[in-house]
Structure 1
Amino acid sequence: MHRSGLVVFSLIASAYPVAAGLYPGITATNHTCALSEPVLSCSDQAVPGEVDTCCVETFGGLILQTQFWSVFTGLESEGQLLPANDWTIHGLWPDFCNGSFTQYCDLSRQYDPKPAPNTTDGTPTGTPVPPYTGPSIESLFAEYGKGDLLAYMNKYWINQFDKNWLLWAHEFSKHATCFSTFQKECFAFQGPKASEFDDLFYFFETVIGYYKVHPTWGWLSAADIRPSNTTSYSFSDIQAALTTGYGVTPFIGCGGPRFNETEAGKGSLDNGGTQLNEMWYYYHVFGGAQRQQGVRLPADVAAGSVTTCAKAPGAIWYYERAPGSEAGSETGDC
């Protein structure tokens, strides 16, 4: 499930002009975050000018760790497979504190060949996002000694119908550039030893860190909710299992036919989706997202919505992966 590109800027965010690096004039020195107080994002103290924006998230303070449940990749013949007994990574998103969002905040770091939306505000009159036409970012991993990171991402961060790296490039370009703590200037403090792509690698590592502490498969499995082509489930049971695991209620996404478009739901007013396919876990974070410390937030409090799924008993299908679409059978490291 993808969100509309239409955005509404929060009052706090709109008070500061958006440009490359989010905050024009930021220096590339003296961002030693160990010396900074880890102020909670979206709090009254998380304001540019009062904190180091490289060390405290001040632009997109409502953080979402998002995951997919896909049943095939479309590139199985090329060896692009899904991990057994695991959901896959979608991304890490920095929404504004009111739940609205923007995207593609720094076009100097645009690596997405297929930008969606293709303007920065999602409207026809917005600033165009030029498609990236350079080499695959996948080639950077070996060059900068990140082969282990590449291997993990190719196992758990899986695209559908396109090469994996296109999803990674999309997530970085659209979302990472809208974190104050992933501004390019925040990584220049490493001096001559800094990699030109430290922001890229640190973002990917941060996304993985969040993914590994949200074992969606395990939380569902513990409640005897497992992929099946013959057994359907109720939203209330899925929500209860995930709330038990996460501690608060995440957003649960469903696609596929709407329940009232199915034979079982004919005549019903329930127009929720019937195929489980996505999960969003909400946070406010202490300091920057890189610290991976924060306050877990219920989806209804964070964004006002808890699901796009049908609520009727037994209306949701959590389908098995297609034959030949999974790699191995061991449980992933989540």
Structure 2
Amino acid sequence: MSPLLKLAALICFVVVAQAGLSFPFPGQLSIPNTFPQLSACISESSFFSCENTTTISNTCCSPTPGGLVLQTQFWDTFTGLEKKGQLLPKNSWTIHGLWPDNCDGSFEQYCDLSRQFDPTPSPAILPDGTVVPPYTGPGVDTFIKAFGRDDLLEFMNNYWVSQGSPNANFWGHEFSKHATCTSTFDVACYGPHYRKHQDVVDFFDAVVRAYHQYPTFNMLATAGITPSNTTTYTLSQLQNAIKAQTGSIPFFGCTTNGTILSEVWYFSHVHGTEQFGSYKTVDSTTKSSCGATGIRYLERTHTSEREVR
């Protein structure tokens, strides 16, 4: 081996060692698992969240109290950071997050400030007066890299795109505000061999899995609903198009006095954990902010999107 190759191999070994990874055999990196330790759930009762009739004894096995799970998406037409290469995926809505609403539709937020990675908390002060301090450490994208998950990071940069802020800041916000209130992502669920930020990467994986279940752009397009700067749609058209595919009516959000379509929330009960369980869609518990008619599903600025297939 040449001196240059030896140096490269040594640098690679040091980086891997510092990240806490290992080599299963010479020449191949080991990408560690990030899923929780759920062997105790095998003996637990099986049910959909928000449909249990007895108290959940092991909250690592089912999201509680946040058992009404929302997979949320945005339809943005620009990012504001195009010059930095932050572009939207063509012919696809983007990820907003995965939220643990309580079964009655209420919700908690920023439940564990020891896992607060949001540079700009919103709200900065919780209803009980607790101050959420801004995070000033390295971005959560570095957590993903430390676990060797370049595949996950690439997907997130393509489909979990922020408007007006770096993507990693947005991801940190979503984890801190929502995942810390989801019991199946509690640190205790990962067992005695928990590694720092394992829960963060696991949450991002779970969000991506849930997002794949709801291809909003395609579901609307199959019903003849596509972005247009001239055509308008009714709320019933949007709702019926999605209900025909999922069996339930999601929340559609609109801006500008209910006229500009901007977001969708899919409500579900989950059988098992939020990470790997089966999602059963249910009707939205939140009234749409869109008007009944005259809804505009605007085309994107061409310089704000890219082909990512």
Scaled by the length of structure 1, the TM-score of the pair is 0.78
Partner of 1:13: none
CA contact (8 A) 1:47 1:58 kept: no
Q: Partners of 1:71 and 1:105 in 2: how far apart?
A: 32
Pairs aligned (count): 274
Q: Partners of 1:133 and 1:111 in 2: how far apart?
A: 8
Deviation of the 1:319 alpha carbon: 0.5
Is 2:45 the counterpart of 1:37? yes
Match of 2:137 among 134, 140, 144: 134
Partner of 1:201: 201
CA contact (8 A) 1:252 1:309 kept: yes
Structure 1 segment 1-334 matched on structure 2, within 5 A: 32-45=40-53, 47-48=55-56, 51-121=57-127, 126-189=129-192, 191=193, 194-256=194-256, 258=257, 273-299=258-284, 303-305=285-287, 307-312=288-293, 315-328=294-307, 332=309
2:296 aligned counterpart, secondary structure:
coil
Q: Partners of 1:281 and 1:46 in 2: how far apart?
A: 26
Partner of 1:24: none
CA contact (8 A) 2:228 2:299 kept: yes
Scaled by the length of structure 2, the TM-score of the pair is 0.84
C-alpha distance 31-197 of structure 1, shift in aligned 2 (>3 A):
farther
Q: Partners of 1:29 and 1:209 in 2: how far apart?
A: 19
Deviation of the 1:242 alpha carbon: 1.2
2:191 aligned counterpart, secondary structure:
helix
2:253 aligned counterpart, secondary structure:
strand
Q: Partners of 1:200 and 1:293 in 2: how far apart?
A: 21
Q: Partners of 1:187 and 1:173 in 2: how far apart?
A: 18
Comparing 146-155 with 247-256, greater Cα deviation is found at 247-256
CA contact (8 A) 2:251 2:286 kept: no
Percent identity (aligned): 46
**CA offsets per residue over residues 129-188 of structure 1, 9 Å max, x none?**
011011112122222111110000000000001000111000000000001111111113
Comparing 66-75 with 56-65, greater Cα deviation is found at 56-65
Look up the equivalent residue of 1:173 and give its one-letter code.
S
Deviation of the 1:205 alpha carbon: 0.6
**CA offsets per residue over residues 44-66 of structure 1, 9 Å max, x none?**
44624xx2111122221111000
1:60 aligned counterpart, secondary structure:
coil
2:207 aligned counterpart, secondary structure:
helix
C-alpha distance 144-323 of structure 1, shift in aligned 2 (>3 A):
same
Rg larger in structure: 2
**CA offsets per residue over residues 11-56 of structure 1, 9 Å max, x none?**
xxxxxxxxxxxxxxxxx987543443333212344624xx211112
Unaligned runs of 5+ in 1: 1-27, 259-272
CA contact (8 A) 1:105 1:120 kept: no
Look up the equivalent residue of 2:228 and give its one-letter code.
S
Look up the equivalent residue of 1:47 and give its one-letter code.
T
**CA offsets per residue over residues 76-118 of structure 1, 9 Å max, x none?**
0000000001000000000111001110000000000100001
CA contact (8 A) 1:38 1:288 kept: no
Look up the equivalent residue of 1:119 and give its one-letter code.
I
**CA offsets per residue over residues 305-326 of structure 1, 9 Å max, x none?**
2x111113xx011001112101
Look up the equivalent residue of 1:33 and give its one-letter code.
C
